[in-house]
Amino acid sequence: MRSITGLCVAVCVLSLGLRGTLTAQQDTAKAPEYGWKHTSVGTVTLSQVAFTDWTQGGENALAWALSLDGKSVQDQEVTNWSNSYKFGFGQTRLGDQGIRKTDDRIDLETMLTYKLAEKVNPYAAATLKTQFAKGFKYDGSGHETAVSQFFDPAYLTQSVGAVYQPIPELKTRFGVGLREILTSNFPGYADNIETLEIEKTRVNGGLESVTELAWQIDENVSFGSKLEMFSTFTKLDEVIVRSDNTLAAKVSSLITVMLNVQLLNERAISPRTQVKEVLALGLSYTFL
């Protein structure tokens, strides 16, 4: 009897020990990984066409573009600090028309989220949008007129509100904020046409909504979309809309096909919706 009792005690102790070990392993496996996580992808595209004694007609052409997209996120137990950046620059030369800019972009965003609940949490965010080089508008005769340059215009927003993330791939936020337009030599972006004075800076308070989607369709195909909306308190019926959508497919470890479509609707700048579309095949390299 003593031997049976001792055996039972030993089995119980062993079972408790194994259960404790398995529980500890499960807890370790489920423990979140806190700290910084960085991602950065660069893309280079180049195309060239040259003619010599070509009777069917055509123009020599050379086009190139560079882009760099990245994100740095510091995730902690009670906070999440997300920083993203998008840089792009490209030029083309068609025949004897000289070099013209085809892409120019600086887009920075930082957002701090305080974790109070599982799906809905307060946030504070700031964004900056501008460009690297001077931009021109061309008429039918090829005459150029400067319309923009570095930090002219520059768009800054600061906002606070609540962010809702029902699934890891989808995140949307809504809040109140300030939108600032800064100019120097090209005040048309900030000027209020209802006043006689030419304003070079415009500051408006309003409501902000930003929705982001990051969808991995397949192992080598991804789709990213960002919809930004801002409406000033004085004109809630006039919504400023920016939409940035990118479909990327990796042909190989270095070659990527990318389709990017950007939409901008801001009545103060243009009564019509502005559309920019880029289809590119180029070299893509993941730095981080």
Q: How is residue 72 annotated by DSSP?
A: E
pLDDT tens sequence across 29-76 = 566 789 999 999 999 999 999 999 898 888 999 999 999 999 999 999
Q: Is the pLDDT of residue 22 over 50?
A: no
Based on the domain organization, do 49 and 64 belong to the same domain? yes
Q: What is the DSSP string of 121-157?
A: EEEEEEEEEE-SS-EEEE-TT--EEEEEBTTBSEEEE
Round the average pLDDT of the chain to a whole number and report it.
Answer: 89
- What is the reported pTM? 0.86
pLDDT of res. 30: 60
Phi first, then psi, for residue 85 (nearest 5°) are -145, 145
Do 106 and 87 form a contact (C-beta atoms < 8 A)? yes
pLDDT value for 33: 87
23 in the same domain as 49: no
274 plus 175 within the same structural domain: yes
Instruction: Say if residue 26 is in the same domain as residue 41.
Output: no
Domain extent for 2? 1-31
| Residue 16 shares a structural domain with residue 58 | no
- When mean pLDDT is compared across 4-18, 159-173, 236-250, 263-277, the lowest value belongs to 4-18
In this structure, the answer to whether residues 20 and 45 fall within a common structural domain is no
Task: In whole angstroms, give the CA distance from residue 141 to residue 123.
Answer: 50
Structure tokens at 17: 């020990």
Shared domain check, 121 and 105: yes
**CATH of residue 75:** 2.40.230
Domain co-membership, 22 together with 91: no
pLDDT (average), residues 197-212: 97
The reported pLDDT for the residue numbered 15 is 42
Domain count, the chain: 2
Task: Please check whether residues 132 and 245 belong to one and the same domain.
Answer: yes
Contacts 24+ apart (CB under 8 A), 136-144: 136/100, 136/101, 138/100, 142/97
pLDDT for position 13: 38
37/85 Cα distance (integer angstroms): 14
Rounded CA-CA distance 110/126 in Å is 6
Same domain, residue pair 23 and 52: no
